[in-house]
Structure formats: structure tokens, C-alpha cells
Amino acid sequence: MSVWAGRRVVLGVSGGIACYKSCTLARRLTEAGAQVDVVLTQAAAEFIRPPTFEALTGRPVLGSLWEPGGALSHVRLGHAADLVIVAPATAHLVARLAQGLADDLLTTLLLAATAPVLLAPAMNDEMYAHPQTRANLERLAARGIALVGPEVGALAEGPSERPGRMSEPEIIMAHAARCLRGTAGPLRGRRVVVTAGPTRESIDPVRVVTNRSSGKMGYRVAEAAWERGADVVLITGPVALPAPVGVRVMRVETTTELEAAVREALPAADVLVMAAAPADFRPSDPSDSKRARHDGALAVPMEPTVDILSATRSERRAGSVIVGFALETGDAMAKGRAKLERKDLDLIVVNDALEPGAGFDVETNRVALLDREGTARILPLQSKRQVAEGILDAVERILGR
Ligand code: CTP
């Protein structure tokens, strides 16, 4: 089930040109299952008329304490909300909030709100750089208000090399999900290291040996762990996926580079999720020059690469949770159990590449989770994101033991 299903979100919109993007944000939140109450400042209502937001959210839009339904709506909405997002948060809104002013419905509601608050500032770059704005934002951050952006990029008045532009709706949604979920739970503040994707090994300067791993499973785990409040490092082989929001990404190419990155990250890791599919073999003597086709048949002698999970065992932090994967073709459970023991893992995610909907380069997966205690949990066929949540639930159970 989506993190947004049944959640009550107040989306405050203050008056800046970036509020055209708030329409998309309101729509995305609604589509994801949230109940979205939009509150407009007077200036915001000059940019976007209330019926636009009403059509996008299917709910009445509030703008004033004095209109029908407005009386006490600040208290009602403020108390009922699971999350308050203000996007865009203009320099003026930020200043009013930092001072604790309550001179309209949105600022009054923000004082009455008990839920987490996320601001997406957007303003002219000079206004953002102004010491007063900086001080206001610092004060709000010190009060526990979460901030996303602003980013560098085009502003209404032209391109800018300095921040001012409101973050895109997808980025605001990712931060909002972390505000909703990441305030409690065993992964909050923990360092989670995730590996993802294939590695590739050179045959010659233009040819490589690799495998079919798409990296999707690892990327979904990294994304979900960050949403749960973890500090996430994603070590990734070459894949065609966008970096997950909030996650520190390290790129590697070969199994040796992956091993070095894991070795470096492991001593600080509370959790390692080894979802990568490192190349198990590499050409033992890669050629320095391109081998021509007319030279005839090519035999490439291969040597095994290092088993990273086993080789880095001594770098593991005491009490850390180590998760491996086993993609098998037949007899998966028994092979998975043997791998868990051989690699000294706390949890292994087992799947069978021959099953429809499971394995490489598909959106779904059907896995079983085996732990050290001998417990086996079989998850249904579901999206890789849902599988990622199932894996992290199991990790949290182990952390909580
Ligand atoms: N793995 C690893 N180092 C490698 C290969 C794999 O650490 N060189 C990790 C994978 O990231 C995965 C787990 O080990 O979490 C199992 O991967 P798999 O390829 O099934 O393991 P192998 O040890 O290569 O097993 P097999 O003998 O079946 O090839």
C-alpha cells in the first residue's frame, strides 16, 4: 500500500510564480491516495484560482479565515493533518513563519499544526541569498521544520547559477514521504549501504563482460531506506536509472572497484544490502588493443572475481545487519540457505530466475526472505518497490531484536 493512502496533507501555497508546479504536486499527492486540502494565500490566489486546485484534489480550497467554512479551519486542519507542505514558500511566507506571525489562514494554521512541516522555498536568487532570508530559514530549520531546495536553474527572470528555483514536484514528494515516515522507526538515522546493478569487466578496450542486472531492486531498496529516515549510500554499477532522491551515489565499474567501495563503506554501515550482481568472472588477460573480427574465433580465458561479501567479512561493524541476494535457477531455497551460511549473512533474499515476473530487468519480483534463525517468509509477486519495503521490514525486525 502506498505511503500516501489515507494520509491527510495540507498543501499551503504562497504567491510566487512557482505555484504553477504546485498544481502538479497537488495532483500527484491526490493520485497517490492522499487527501489534499489546499490552502492559498491571497497572493497565491492571484496566480492560480481556487477552482484549479479544487478540480485537481476533489476537495474545497481554503483561502481565508473569514469565508464560509474558514472559521476555526486553521485549528481543525492543523490538528487533523498528517503533514503540512508549503510549496512554494516565498521569502515573505518564510519571514512571517520565522516571526510566528498569524495574519492569514495559512500562517495561523502553521502555528496550530502538530504535524511535521515541509517547506519548499522558491524566490529570486538575491532574495534567497539575503542574510535575513538565510537567518529566517536557519531559524525554521532549528525549530525542526524540514526544507527541500531551492535549486539552481531557470528563474522567472532568466537562468541563474544560484539557488532560488523551487524543487520539482517529484523531489518534494520524496522529501514529504520521508517527513511522514522517517520520524520514528529503527532505520531513522542509521547508515544503510546498498549495492546495485551489474559490474563489467574488459575483454579489450571496447568490449566487456557483464550481466543482465538492471539495478532496479537495489535502487528501490535505497529509495525506501531513505524514506524511512536512513542515511543511505548507494554503490552502483553501470545502469540507466536516475539517482534516488536524498541518496549519496558512488559509481563503480568492475567487481574490484565494487569490492573497494564496499570495504570502505562497511565499517560505518549499520546495514549492508548487497543487491548488486557483480561479474563472477573476468577476462584473466584483457587485451590492450581491439581484437579484429577477421582474426577469427576469439577464446577469452576467464578467472573468478573475489566474493565481496565473504572477503569483506572482517570489516563489518558489530551488530550490523548484512543482507545478500541469491538468484537461482531451480532449488532456490536450499541454495539460498547454503549461501546465507557460507557468506555469514543475517538475511538472504532468494528468487528463482525461471519464475515469470521474477529476476532481472522486470518491474516485479517474487522472493523469499530467509534469516539466520531459520525463518522463511515468502512474499507475493509484487513490485520491486514493495519487495524493497518487505526486505526493510525484515531488516528492522532484526535491528530491533
Ligand atoms: N556477491 C558478492 N561477490 C561476488 C558475487 C556475488 O558479494 N563476486 C554477492 C551478491 O551481491 C549477492 C550474493 O553475493 O548478494 C549472492 O550472489 P551470487 O552470484 O548468487 O553468489 P555467488 O557467490 O557468486 O554464488 P554462485 O557460487 O552460485 O555463483
Write the pLDDT tens digit of every residue in 198-256.
Answer: 999 999 999 999 999 999 999 999 999 999 999 999 999 999 999 999 999 999 999 99
Q: CA 92 to CA 76: how far, in whole Å?
A: 25
Cell for 129? 541569498
Q: CA 148 to CA 89: how far, in whole Å?
A: 10
Which atom of ligand 1 has the smallest separation from the CA of 326?
Answer: 20
- Tell me the whole-structure pTM to 2 decimals: 0.91
Ligand 1 center–CA 50 separation, angstroms: 56
Q: Which residues are catalytic?
A: 211
Residue 2: pLDDT band with limits 50, 70, 90:
confident
Ligand 1 probe mutation, 213, 280, 313, 370, most atoms within 8 A of CB: 280
Cell for 164? 532560488
CA dihedral sign of residues 238, 241, 243, 247: negative
Say yes or no to pLDDT of 70 above 60: no
Residue 161: pLDDT band with limits 50, 70, 90:
confident
In this structure, the residues whose C-beta lies within 6 A of any atom of ligand 1 are 255, 274, 276, 278, 280, 305-309, 324-327, 339
Q: CA 397 to CA 187: how far, in whole Å?
A: 10
Q: Which of 134-138, 349-353, 378-382 has the highest average model confidence (pLDDT)?
A: 134-138
Q: CA 246 to CA 178: how far, in whole Å?
A: 10
Which atom of ligand 1 has the smallest separation from the CA of 280?
Answer: 8
Q: Which of 177-191, 218-232, 368-382 has the highest average model confidence (pLDDT)?
A: 218-232
Grouping H, G, I as helix, E, B as strand and the rest as coil, residue 352 is: strand
Which regions of 220-319 does DSSP assign to beta strands (E)?
Answer: 231-236, 248-251, 271-274, 281-283, 302-304
Mean pLDDT of the region 78-103: 95
Residue 358: pLDDT band with limits 50, 70, 90:
low
Which atom of ligand 1 has the smallest separation from the CA of 335?
Answer: 28
Convert 115-184 into a string of H (helix), E (strand) and C (coil).
CCEEEEECCCHHHHHCHHHHHHHHHHHHCCCEECCCEECCECCECCCCEEECCCHHHHHHHHHHHHHCCC
Ligand 1 center–CA 349 separation, angstroms: 12
Angle among Cα 72, 74, 75 to the nearest 5 degrees reads 70
Q: Do you find a cis peptide bond into 159, omega within 30 degrees of 0?
A: no
For the chain, domains (ranges, CATH) are 8-181 (3.40.50.1950), 191-282+302-399 (3.40.50.10300)
